[in-house]
Structure 1
Amino acid sequence: MKIINSLLILLLVFPIAVHAQTENTSYDEIAPFSEGMAAVRIGHQWGFIDESAKLVIDFRDDLVWNTNADASKEGVLGIRYPKFKNGLCMIQKLKVNDIPFYGFIDKTGKTVIEPEYLNITEFDHKNAVGIYVREAFQGQNEIKLGVIDYIFTEVVVNTNGEIIWPICEREHILTAKRRYETPELRAKLFGDDLLIFKTKDNKWETKKLNSYL
């Protein structure tokens, strides 16, 4: 009788165990595959599976995505779901006044380009265009608090995180939380080496990047 009771218990428990094992394959959203990996979402967190459906990057809340992404916009506002391009996927981190700064992870989930950009494109080519933020310490005020200015430069950055060409200084970017809007990019990459950018007088110019490398 004890053996029969034990078998009945096992039969009752086994379906529950199977359900628990398969439950984590039920996702709220699965993005298209890119470079052998697809982003999968549960709630507001995303992870990545490979082509065998194995979870290779665990769920995290810093991957960049927008339910209402505008594909006509360059940079972060046009990203519908996380994906790898040239081995890199965009992340975000809240920094100054809880404003999101953007960087990249590699396919192991390691941060390889620190979140130091207010806006940046994905690596559709071997480079990306972003607005880099640099802190400049200006000394102390009358109550001995450090005064820091922020310098914004639109740049071309490579997959190693190296700035290979500063396009122009960017002005009139507000970092106050209530008035903050993601600054638009004024430059675009066409292929690996051709850059077009808008000047201060609203004209367009072109540059061949290979002449600056």
Structure 2
Amino acid sequence: MKNFKIIVVIFLIPLFCFSQDLTDIDFVSPFHDGYAAVKKGDQWAFINEKGAIVIDFRDDLVPEKHNDVCYPVLKNDLFLIQRNENNLTYFGFADVQGKTVIAPKFLKAKSFEFNNSIALLLIKQNLGYNKLLDKPMVSYKYREVLIDKSGEIVDYLSPLYPFSVDAYAKKSPEIKSKIVSKDIVAVAQDNTFSLRKY
């Protein structure tokens, strides 16, 4: 009798634990690397090709533009996440378990291609202290960087550009360079590109 109960439980587990019908979904993206994004209200989740949720609904996933449609992408086992702090939005990456692997510290980032991503690194420079205003004087700059899956900088792709927090509220800087293969990045220079091996 005991063995019979164990067998019944084993057969019922898939029915209750793995069977999922997603309802009231607002949007379903195409699959990328075996995962699709689904939207419900203001939150996104990822499903696998069997329709099972692998990343539950959350509000920190970052939609990216794909053929004039915006949705998050899980590529190279990583997806973009965001965090707001001091009127700025910082971007990082989480893995297929939903664990943050690259803390949100970039002004912008693109999905991983060929195990690398292009991101905008914010650099804060301390200029001194203003005694009259009783506050530190700082300057901000940013630059495009190529990062690996651990968040380490592989290459610096652009010079330093000035950054204004006030201007950021109206329009954030854009990533202009792009990864074109597993060994080559097209680095933006004014209105042209130069190809660089990395």
TM-score of the pair, normalised by structure 1: 0.73
Counterpart of 1:137 (choices 107, 126, 145) is 126
Contact 2:140 2:164 in 1 (8 A): no
Q: Any idea what SS the aligned residue of 1:176 has? A: helix
Counterpart of 1:146 (choices 130, 136, 140) is 136
Task: Determine the C-alpha separation between the residues in 2 that align with 1:58 and 1:179.
Answer: 30
Q: Which amino acid aligns with 2:99?
A: K
Unmatched 5+ residue regions in structure 1? 1-20, 72-77
Contact 2:122 2:140 in 1 (8 A): yes
Q: Which amino acid aligns with 1:50?
A: N
Counterpart of 2:26 (choices 21, 25, 28) is 28
Task: Determine the C-alpha separation between the residues in 2 that align with 1:30 and 1:179.
Answer: 30
CA apart distance, 1:33: 2.3
Please state if 1:183 is matched with 2:169: no
* Backbone CA RMSD of aligned residues: 2.5
Q: Which amino acid aligns with 1:86?
A: N
Q: Which amino acid aligns with 2:34?
A: G
Tell me the residue number matched to 1:208: 197
Q: 1:43 to 1:199 in 2, by over 3 A?
A: same
Contact 2:62 2:82 in 1 (8 A): yes
Q: Which amino acid aligns with 2:182?
A: D
CA apart distance, 1:62: 0.9
Q: Structure 2 matches for 1:102-121, cutoff 5 A?
A: 102-121=91-110
Counterpart of 1:40 (choices 31, 38, 41) is 38
CA deviations on 1:111-170 (whole Å, 9 max, x unpaired) are 111222222221122211121112233333224323332231211111111101112223
Whichever of the two has the greater Rg, that structure is 1
Q: 1:79 to 1:140 in 2, by over 3 A?
A: farther
Question: Identity of aligned pairs, percent?
Answer: 31
Larger deviation, residues 138-147 vs 113-122: 138-147
CA apart distance, 1:203: 4.5
Contact 2:35 2:49 in 1 (8 A): yes
Tell me the residue number matched to 1:63: 61
Q: Structure 2 matches for 1:148-187, cutoff 5 A?
A: 148-176=138-166, 180-187=170-177
CA apart distance, 1:52: 3.0
Unmatched 5+ residue regions in structure 2? 1-18
TM-score of the pair, normalised by structure 2: 0.77
Tell me the residue number matched to 2:117: 128
Task: Determine the C-alpha separation between the residues in 2 that align with 1:52 and 1:198.
Answer: 40
Structure 1 residue ranges (4+ consecutive) displaced by more than 6 angstroms after TM superposition: none
Task: Determine the C-alpha separation between the residues in 1 that align with 2:69 and 2:109.
Answer: 11
Instruction: Tell me which protein shows more strand as a share of its residues.
Output: 2
Q: 1:178 to 1:171 in 2, by over 3 A?
A: closer
Task: Determine the C-alpha separation between the residues in 2 that align with 1:56 and 1:43.
Answer: 18
Counterpart of 2:73 (choices 76, 83, 102) is 83
Contact 2:73 2:111 in 1 (8 A): no
Q: Count how many residue pairs are aligned between Structure 1 and Structure 2.
A: 179
Tell me the residue number matched to 1:99: 88
Instruction: Tell me which protein shows more helix as a share of its residues.
Output: 1
